[in-house]
Structure 1
Amino acid sequence: MGKYSLENYEKYKTVKIRPQPLLNREFDTSLGQFEYVSFSWRTLEPVRGEYRLEAIHEALHTAQNPILVLVPELPIWAPDYAPDCFAALIRKVGSYIDSDRRLTAVLISTLADSKEEWNAYMESFEVQTLLAELQNDRLIQHLRERSRGFGLLVKCSEENWIECCEAFAIHKLQKAWKRYQVVLHVTDDICGPHTRREAYRWHAGLSNLNIGLGYHLALRRLTYPETVYSRGSLPLRFWFVNGGSSRIYREFQLWVQLKQGEVSYEYPLHAATHSWLTGDLVHNEMVPLKDMLPGRYTLSIALYFEDRSYIPLHIQNPQQDGYYEAGTIQVELSDEDPLMNIWDTYYPEGYYPLEDPVVPEQE
């Protein structure tokens, strides 16, 4: 440990946890794969005004990262040109399925590429992410004019990957991934090297083939005190790394658990996870503790979606119900809270005193 190492300037004794990452063969790369959930107009509305939409819910039970596609296959009763009727179906499906969180996105597919159909998607799917095909210039322009955010479906192959790159540049969509999904549809039988390279550059998060896209979140370091006090403060310093191709688009929250035998305390943290992208992710927080019995506790962390399903971390630490064990911490009783204002007088992530440089001796 060097003279100016951060450990020499800590205001309290700390525990630093540096988990071992999973080996490459232990990664579940299929998390970045999606499935189309396609239904034809003819199936959903066989008779005008009579809708059969229950099959959509059933399909969402088994599909992985489902993307809904309404196929404009004319029912027997519809005239040859009926974009207004197809728009009515879009609105009906939107009112039926828009709030279902199992759905990853909805592809904007139309009968006549008309504004009436586009508006039906925008107005009836207010919660779901809408996907526009990268090469549909008019649709992208319309979505922007209406100030509606959208993701992208990129149909790419080893033959047209340069055209896809050009489309990203023309529409200035290089940063679209920061808010909405970029979905890659590989039109070749296998994903070639050019397509794979550009998919990572576009920060695509999903693909129809398993090529390892998506988020790969790992805990690089966690720092906390050796001892804390019941009804006191627990200063936590997290360093995560998202080594994947994209961010996490669903809302999620960072949690901490302190457990001793059958007794456990859970604390939801206030990390700004909505702004977490790729690369290094740092969060410091002072957690107010509940009234706890003294003793040694196991400290664990978890990242939960709103439905309480958890985000797998690419670390080797033991996991139970989404909580990954980090280490142990001692809880004691005290009438004071010595850690409550501990960060007021120093910055715990690197500002510490340095000696003035010595003037070199002159010969």
Structure 2
Amino acid sequence: MESTGSVGEAPGGPRVLVVGGGIAGLGAAQRLCGHSAFPHLRVLEATARAGGRIRSERCFGGVVEVGAHWIHGPSRGNPVFQLAAEYGLLGEKELSQENQLVETGGHVGLPSVSYASSGASVSLQLVAEMATLFYGLIDQTREFLHAAETPVPSVGEYLKKEIGQHVAGWTEDEETRKLKLAVLNSFFNLECCVSGTHSMDLVALAPFGEYTVLPGLDCTFSKSVHVLCGFIAGLESEFMETLSDEEVLLCLTQVLRRVTGNPRLPAPKSVLRSRWHSAPYTRGSYSYVAVGSTGGDLDLLAQPLPADGAGAQLQILFAGEATHRTFYSTTHGALLSGWREADRLLSLWAPQVQQPRPRL
């Protein structure tokens, strides 16, 4: 979100233009328009819809989320969860105190069933064993946040180094070892989807622990019993965007028939997919802290222009998930960043007015 225009003494109050109708921009606009100090406020959106990377499609007999899919950490500290609860969008389970207190560590839940590419089912015990190893190492990566130095630059390098040491101690037969490595590779791919990256080798190790995980089991809004959701990240996702729907459906059908062992499994009736990389006003999914960067770079992205303390009047302010140091890559981070910039303007122009919402 950029707030620009005449943010100075103008007849009737300052003028504010919010550029971008994503949740950061809309959150900032809503917070400002509730105050008499900002009578001249406009939201400028380049596309035909509001929401940014939050995109809901009504199809397949219900609603499918093509953009923001989960509420990560649905608990009191999450403003998106609070809004969803306020508007009656969640069920009793998601709203329960028990659900809100669960500490997931940011890890994705284990699948109820797993298949190898050959079509054979994979032991859930083996999957759970590899999950314990992988996510235990992920937790270790967060411990380098305040370390003077790190053994390797990236999360991926650290994980592979530690896994290599564990593999050296495995005593199973060769087939079991290969299966374990394949399961670990699937966890790597899943973590790439979580981080929005092509490879965990691109994600910086030192600041990885700065991302804050809120308590609560991730939840979604109700959607259509006959929709199969899939996720893909990195260069493969960019390549998939170049394919036609027919090509994607054909490949998906082949994969599903192979892993289920049912060559007559009906093909999906239709497909709905995102194309965030090629979308002209998006050009990607969400942010991570790359090798060579630190959390301080996110703060730099959030720095208004002219810089604070320069004595000049603020002209441009920035918001969005990539400007939130501890909640980057999330919807709630984007919303909080919009509120942050609105509060910045309120502190300059309406310091005597009570804030409409507590800062989280």
TM, length-normalised to structure 2 = 0.26
- Answer 1 or 2: which has greater strand percent: 1
**Structure with more relative contact order (C-alpha pairs < 8 Å, separation 6 or more):** 2
Rg larger in structure = 1
TM, length-normalised to structure 1 = 0.26
